[in-house]
Structures are given as structure tokens and as C-alpha cells.
């Protein structure tokens, strides 16, 4: 073989996606708030786009009619912006260049929020502690997670702070005798101080200790609930009422009553001070029942309405003024503006098509409730509205709809189905709702087993396996029959 350069021709097929197609898919995927921000950014970047101003509905003050037409024309002439000059000189936004006013910009600053660590530090400053104890307390606070639990052992805390002392002494060129290391007794004492702070249960090393601290704070150290947590925690969490009853010589009913008191305690006391991000949901669609019919509306009143700027269109028509980069820039921006307006309208129509089909298919749900939700897949919707399944997926992803039965994600209406003896299909979500209802209405002394639920559903025409009932029950967070049993 000889090394060299050669040329050859070949035919092959390949798919290339237009960049605007990616943008169109992104627009379909965006929730309402994200789309709103995206359109505002487009208004800033593309001079050919402008926002449609809402019509003034308020009645004009009669006194304003006194202004003469000549005065109005003179005012408009003075305020007229030289669009051609702006276009030719780089699209500087604003009024006339000679009257451009510099405005000071203030960066938005997030509001400071106080977390569990801040709350604990505030309490430590109120205690009569030495600087040495305060440093150790800070080490403890730094190792408490957001649930309120101590995330490491006492030995690790002592080793960590002693390592800092050693490094500090080496850096300063002093002997560690000037800064004595912390002892295990000091660390144990500080643990008691930290665990005495608010909220009760903070600084615990496990759930058992957390519950004991809360019971101790409530003055219940001599109570049955305290003894149950201290002496038979494993039996307690497994609901072994009979074993506990025999061990303590009390009735199973008293054991269960004590367990109910323990269940009122907070297993994660630190979360009340954790930074919980506010989650606001603005529905993209609204379904209302008017005169017996369901109507679908797009909730896009706050979405910027886009149109092509007439001023820039007039300038762009005179192509003789532009050449080279200016001409290419104007052409790209104009095409982009036209495409953006069309893409937004396409998004609106697609969302309405999808929601109309969902309402038609799930009418029984809107009328009767979640138990009547029918199975539905993305493919079924795609086939009806003549779109690709991935398009429907993007339309329904992270979108919410306001209905007479509450604000729901569009994905709520999609679920697999189970067959019935009548030949119809029922949604898996509807089956879960039936299981949840059966458990809520059962006799607590004789809770329904998974097999009993299977038999009840079979009588209503639903064919379902026991393991499927167990899976749905776990997904609903419902305990097994033995764990739900009351005495």
C-alpha cells in the first residue's frame, strides 16, 4: 500500500435538524413563566419585534380634548425617534442620541434568609460560655444537617477541632500547650448544651434519641411513651403491641395510645428552619364548565404579544441603503422575528389541540372524579392530532391546567390501564384512588389485606393481581394490614 492523498465521491443519507427546529421544540417545552422571560429577552435582542400594547379601556378625561391638534402634532414631531439613524448606527435602543440619559442600574439582591444554623448561633450567644466553648459549639453547629441531626460522631468532632488547633499552633510557631486540645468530656458536655437548644430534638444522633429529647423537653421522662422509646424502640416501630404489652404489664390499648402520642412528635425538627423554596404554579391552561360544556382557554394574558415593528419594516423595504453585513443582519433579524411569531402561535394551537382531546377523553373524570380516569398514552393523543409522540410529550411536560377539580399537571391524565370483566379499561391512577378509598373506609380493628382488596376490586369488575395491589399501596404510602391494625 502507498501512502498518499486521494479523492472519492459517495452518496449517503443523513438527517440535519434546522437550528430553528431546536428552538421550536424548546418553546413547546417551556412552562409559562420560562416562556414569558424568553419572549422578553427576544424583544430586547430583535429590533424587528415589538410588543402589542393593550388598548386603553379607561375613558379619557374631557379636559384633555382642549389640546389642539397642532400642539399634538408638534409634540409628536419633537418626540419622534429617528429609526433610520438608529438602524444604520448599530441599533442603539432608546430616544434620540443627543438626549440619551444614563440611568443607574441596581443589581437585584436576594432577601437574606435565616436557617437552622443561624437560629442555633443566636441561642449560643445568649449562653454564658467561654470562648473555648463557643468555638466547640460552632463545630457542633457546622455538623448539624438540615433535618436537625448531628451528622458525625463525637470522636470525629473532637478530632476535627483538635486538628484545627494543631494546624493553627504550627502556623503561629507555638506549642500546642498554649492551646490545649479538647477532651472527650468537654465534647460530651457540649453535646448536652446543643441538645438543650430549640427546636427540641436538635443535635440528636438518631431517631430514637431525637424522640427522647422531645419527650424530655415536654417533661414526660416518667411516662409510658418515654419508656417505650427508651426500652423497646424496635418493637415499637414494628407495631408489636402484644410483645410490648406483656413486657410492661399494660394493656395493648394503652400501648397503642402511647404510640399515638409518640407519633405526634417531629422526626425531623430542623426542617421548620430550613430554606424552603417557594414553588408557585401558574397554570398554562384553564378548563371551565359553562352551560354544561367544557371550554379550554390559554392562560397567557401576561405573555407578551409580539408583532413586527412597522418602523423597522419600512426601513428594511428600502434595500438600496444597506449592503454587506448590514443587509445580512437585517434579513436575519426580520426572518427570525417572523418565525418567532409563527412559532408562538403554533405552540398555542398545539396546546389547545392536546387539551381538547384530553377533556373529551376524560370527561367522566371531570364529572365524577379520579376513579373514573381512563387510561391514556402519549401515542393515542399524537395519532389523533396528527403530531409526533415526542411533540405531545414536550407539550405536556411541566405544564399545568386549572380545572374544576383543581390545578393538575398535564401528565396526571396519562397512565396505563387495566382490563375489566366488562371489556372496558380503567386507569391505574383510578385503581390507586379506589385502593386509597377502601383503606380510608376500612375497620381499623380488621384492616383489609392485599388479597381482600383484590377480591373487592374483582367484584367491581377489575382484574388485578395481589402483587400489583401491594405495589400500588406502597406507592400511596399505605402500610400493610398488620401495621394498620388497631386494638
Work out the mean pLDDT of the chain and round it to a whole number: 79
The model's pTM is 0.61
Domain-wise residue ranges, the chain: 18-51+277-414, 116-197, 201-274, 416-487
Q: What is the mean pLDDT of residues 189-218?
A: 94
Give the pLDDT band of residue 424 (cuts 50, 70, 90): low
Q: Which fold has domain 416-487?
A: Arc Repressor Mutant, subunit A (1.10.10)
pLDDT beyond 80 at 399: yes
Evaluate whether 461 touches 421 at the Cβ level (below 8 Å): yes
Separation CA 91–CA 202 (nearest Å): 59
pLDDT score, position 193 = 95
Q: Which of 463, 427, 434, 429 is nearest to 448 (CA)?
A: 434
The answer to which of 207-216, 250-259, 456-465 has the lowest mean pLDDT is 456-465
Evaluate whether 146 touches 274 at the Cβ level (below 8 Å): yes
Evaluate whether 96 touches 82 at the Cβ level (below 8 Å): yes
What string of DSSP letters covers 451-485?
HHHHHHHHHTTB---HHHHHHHHHHTTPPPHHHH-
pLDDT beyond 60 at 85: no
Evaluate whether 201 touches 238 at the Cβ level (below 8 Å): no
Q: What is the mean pLDDT of residues 361-375?
A: 87
pLDDT tens, position by position, 109-135 = 555 567 899 999 999 999 999 999 999
Evaluate whether 199 touches 147 at the Cβ level (below 8 Å): no
Give the pLDDT band of residue 164 (cuts 50, 70, 90): confident
Give the pLDDT band of residue 185 (cuts 50, 70, 90): very high
Q: What is the mean pLDDT of residues 279-307?
A: 85
Per DSSP bridges, beta strands 285-290 and 293-298 are antiparallel
pLDDT beyond 80 at 29: no
Phi-psi region of 369 (alpha: psi -120 to 50; beta: other; left: phi over 0): left
Per DSSP bridges, beta strands 406-409 and 400-403 are antiparallel
Higher pLDDT pick, 454 / 66: 454
Q: Residue 217, Cα to own-chain centre: how many angstroms?
A: 35
Give the pLDDT band of residue 177 (cuts 50, 70, 90): low
Beta bridge partners, 51, equal 306
pLDDT score, position 485 = 81
pLDDT score, position 322 = 65
Higher pLDDT pick, 89 / 210: 210
pLDDT score, position 171 = 74
pLDDT score, position 324 = 66
Evaluate whether 91 touches 119 at the Cβ level (below 8 Å): no
pLDDT score, position 368 = 87
Q: What is the mean pLDDT of residues 312-321?
A: 70
Give the pLDDT band of residue 279 (cuts 50, 70, 90): low
Q: What is the mean pLDDT of residues 423-427?
A: 64
pLDDT score, position 462 = 82
Q: How far is CA 139 from CA 124, 152, 159, in A?
A: 12, 11, 11
Higher pLDDT pick, 130 / 98: 130
Amino acid at each position: 500500500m502507498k501512502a498518499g492523498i486521494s479523492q472519492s465521491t459517495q452518496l449517503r443519507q443523513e438527517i440535519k435538524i434546522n437550528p430553528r427546529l431546536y428552538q421550536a421544540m424548546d418553546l413547546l417545552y417551556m412552562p409559562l413563566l420560562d416562556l414569558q422571560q424568553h419572549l422578553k429577552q427576544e424583544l430586547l435582542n430583535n429590533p424587528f419585534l415589538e410588543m402589542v400594547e393593550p388598548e386603553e379601556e379607561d375613558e379619557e378625561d374631557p379636559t384633555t380634548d382642549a389640546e389642539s391638534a397642532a400642539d399634538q402634532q408638534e409634540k409628536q414631531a419633537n418626540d419622534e425617534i429617528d429609526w433610520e439613524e438608529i438602524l444604520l448606527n448599530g441599533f442603539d435602543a432608546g430616544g434620540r442620541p443627543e438626549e440619551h440619559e444614563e440611568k443607574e442600574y441596581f443589581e437585584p439582591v436576594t432577601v437574606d434568609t435565616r436557617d437552622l444554623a443561624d437560629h442555633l448561633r443566636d441561642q449560643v450567644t445568649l449562653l454564658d460560655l467561654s470562648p473555648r466553648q463557643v468555638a466547640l459549639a460552632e463545630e457542633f453547629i457546622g455538623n448539624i444537617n438540615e433535618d436537625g441531626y448531628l451528622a458525625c460522631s463525637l470522636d470525629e468532632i473532637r478530632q476535627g477541632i483538635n486538628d484545627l488547633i494543631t494546624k493553627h499552633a504550627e502556623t503561629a510557631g507555638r506549642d500546642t500547650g498554649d492551646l490545649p486540645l479538647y477532651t472527650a468530656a468537654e465534647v460530651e458536655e457540649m453535646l448536652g448544651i446543643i441538645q438543650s437548644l430549640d427546636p427540641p430534638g436538635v443535635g440528636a444522633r438518631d431517631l430514637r434519641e431525637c424522640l427522647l429529647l422531645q419527650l424530655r423537653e415536654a417533661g414526660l421522662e416518667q411516662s409510658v411513651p418515654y419508656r417505650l422509646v427508651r426500652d423497646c424502640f424496635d418493637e415499637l416501630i414494628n407495631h408489636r403491641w402484644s410483645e410490648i404489652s406483656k413486657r410492661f404489664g399494660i394493656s395493648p390499648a394503652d400501648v397503642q395510645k402511647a404510640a399515638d402520642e409518640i407519633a405526634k412528635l417531629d422526626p425531623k425538627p430542623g426542617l421548620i428552619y430550613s430554606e424552603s423554596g417557594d414553588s408557585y404554579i401558574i397554570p398554562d391552561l384553564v378548563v371551565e364548565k359553562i352551560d354544561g360544556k367544557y371550554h379550554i382557554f390559554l392562560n397567557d394574558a401576561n405573555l407578551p404579544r409580539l408583532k413586527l415593528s412597522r418602523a423597522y419594516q419600512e426601513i428594511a423595504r428600502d434595500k438600496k441603503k444597506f449592503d454587506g453585513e448590514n443587509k445580512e443582519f437585517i434579513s436575519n433579524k426580520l426572518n427570525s422575528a417572523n418565525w418567532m411569531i409563527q412559532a408562538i402561535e403554533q405552540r398555542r394551537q398545539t396546546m389547545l389541540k392536546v387539551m381538547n382531546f384530553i377533556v373529551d377523553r376524560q370527561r367522566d373524570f371531570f364529572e365524577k372524579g379520579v376513579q373514573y380516569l381512563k387510561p391514556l398514552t402519549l401515542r393515542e393523543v399524537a395519532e389523533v392530532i396528527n403530531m409526533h409522540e415526542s411533540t405531545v410529550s414536550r407539550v405536556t411536560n411541566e405544564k399545568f391546567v386549572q380545572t374544576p377539580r383543581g390545578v393538575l399537571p398535564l401528565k396526571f391524565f396519562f397512565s396505563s390501564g387495566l382490563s375489566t370483566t366488562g371489556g372496558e379499561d380503567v386507569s391505574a391512577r383510578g385503581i390507586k384512588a379506589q385502593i386509597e378509598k377502601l383503606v380510608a373506609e376500612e375497620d381499623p380493628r380488621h384492616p383489609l389485606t392485599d388479597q381482600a382488596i383484590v377480591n373487592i376490586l374483582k367484584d367491581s369488575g377489575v382484574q388485578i393481581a395481589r402483587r400489583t395491589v401491594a405495589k400500588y399501596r406502597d406507592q400511596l404510602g399505605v402500610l400493610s394490614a398488620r401495621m394498620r391494625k388497631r386494638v
